[in-house]
Every structure is written in structure tokens, then in C-alpha cells.
Amino acid sequence: MARILCIANQKGGVGKTTTSVNLAVGLAKAGCRTLLIDFDPQCNATSSLGCEPTQRHPLVEQKPLTEALRKTRYDGLELLPGSRSFADVETLSDESGDTAVLQRHLAGGVSVYDFVLIDCPPSLGPMTETALSASTEVVMPLQCEYFAMEGLAEMIKVIKRIMKRKPGRLEFGGIVLTMYDPSLELTREVEEDVRDFFGGIVFDTVVPRDVAVAEAPSHSQSVLEYAPRARGSRAYIELCMEVLDRD
């Protein structure tokens, strides 16, 4: 059975898409057959892998999932590209029980994968709730800054509501601290607060501030390929190993 990881945070700019792409590439490089679903209308995950967004989101078209998948430059990693269509956003946000579009596709189309990663929009809206409902784990990138902490309680509240609605399906996959700068006192304070409150849910790996991580998408590459010896690349490899160990 595929592990379906929802990469979510209501705040933008915390490294959500960066984590989705680099973790997906890392898992594929580790020999896992992996699918990345771009569920964010900004379509940054799609462009980060050198692909173009679609006119209509593949999930709302009446076609088999396999017809919409894109091969990537990484062996073992496939992409379900995103769409910027506002009409499709409304359709994908429809979470009317078992008829939810995303859940319907995932129910029968992902058995060949070891991992499915869903890159969510930066919000707590219906699309994120739909993605959470279709997932088995939620991974939350959290920027090591004060404002990133705000609203975390609301995010946890939504996750717990989904868990209550579908007992035994969704679990906390973990919180990953991103844009980590050990030279800043605030970074250390945020890390201490998060680890004290959430304990073992927080990944040991922290993703540092690293210009290579920011530059890689402009070259349509993962940082693991763009700068394999960079600090950010090493961090995402270590995060990948942690995810595999938490199976």
C-alpha cells in the first residue's frame, strides 16, 4: 500500500513546495517508485521539475490517471502536473463524501507506488482539507521564524478534525524545520519551543538556509542534482532517510 504524504502548511513561503519536490526526488533516488501530485494552483512543483502546467487539471478530466502522468528526469519519479484553472480549483475543492475527486483517483490509481506526495496550496481551505482526507500522513514544513508559528494551532485543529472524521487513516508524519539559521537566536528559540511541545513528531533533520536550495528550481532541478554537496542537499537526503525509517 502506498504511503500518501500530504505536504501542507497554511502559510506560504515556508518551503512546502521545495520540500515536496526534494523529498520526492530523494525517495525516487532511494529506489522507491514515487508520484508527486501538484495540488497547488500556483503550479510551482510542476515548473520545478521542468514541466508545464496543464490547461485543465488531470484530476477533473474523465481520463485514467495513467494517461495524465508525466515522466521526469529522475528515474522512479512521476508527476501529476497542476493547473491554474479557477474552475478546476472549485471542482477539486469539492469534498462531498466519497465523491471527492482526489480521493476517487487515489483509491484505485496509486497501488503501483511506494510513495505519493501531494503538494498543497498555502491555505486551510477546502483543497487542503481534501488532500488531508485522501492522505495517510501529513508532513508540515515550518519556517524558523516567529510568524510561522502563528496559525499553527489552527493547522493542528484541521488535521485533528480530519483524523476524527476518518479514524485510523491520517497520521502525523512529522514537522520539518526549514530555513534554519543556527546563528540566529530566534531560530534556536523556535526550534526549542517546537521540539518541547511536539516532541518526537518533529524530524531530527533541519533544512538550513542555503542559496543552492533557492536557485535549483530556476534550473528545473532538485537541489540534490543541482548542488549535491550543498548543505540543503545533504539535509533533504537525511530527511528522506528519516521518512523511510518512520515506515
Predicted local distance difference test score (pLDDT) of residue 236: 98
The total of other beta-carbon atoms located within 10 Å of residue 1's CB is 8
The mean pLDDT value of the chain amounts to 88
Q: Residue ranges of the domains in the chain?
A: 3-245
Question: Average of pLDDT values for 98-123?
Answer: 78
- Read off the pLDDT band of 99 (50, 70, 90): very low
Express each pLDDT in 127-182 by its tens digit: 888 889 889 999 999 998 877 777 788 888 899 999 998 788 899 999 999 999 99
CB burial of residue 38 (10 Å; 0-12, 13-18, 19+): buried
Confidence (pLDDT) at 130:
85
| Cα 51 to the center of its chain, rounded Å | 17
DSSP characters over 24-66: HHHHHHTT--EEEEE--TT-HHHHHTT-PPBSS-GGGSSS-HH
pLDDT at 152: 80
Instruction: Give kind and range of the element (H or E) at residue 7.
Output: strand 3-7
Please, are residues 169 and 237 in contact by the beta-carbon 8 Å criterion? no
| Runs of H (alpha helix) within the chain | 16-29, 44-48, 65-68, 86-92, 101-109, 126-133, 146-149, 152-165, 185-198, 211-215, 223-226, 231-245
At 205 the three-state DSSP class reads strand
Whole-angstrom CA distances from 7 to 4, 139, 155 are 10, 5, 12
- 146: exposed, middle or buried (C-beta count within 10 Å: 0-12, 13-18, 19+)? exposed
Q: What angle do CA 69, 221, 46 make, to 5 degrees?
A: 35
Share of the chain above pLDDT 90, in %: 60
Topology of domain 3-245, per CATH? Rossmann fold (3.40.50)
pLDDT tens profile 29-87: 999 999 999 999 899 999 999 999 988 887 777 677 778 899 999 999 999 998 887 67
Per-residue burial over 194-219, b = 16 or more CB atoms within 10 Å of its CB, e = otherwise: beeebeeebbebbbbbbeebeebbee
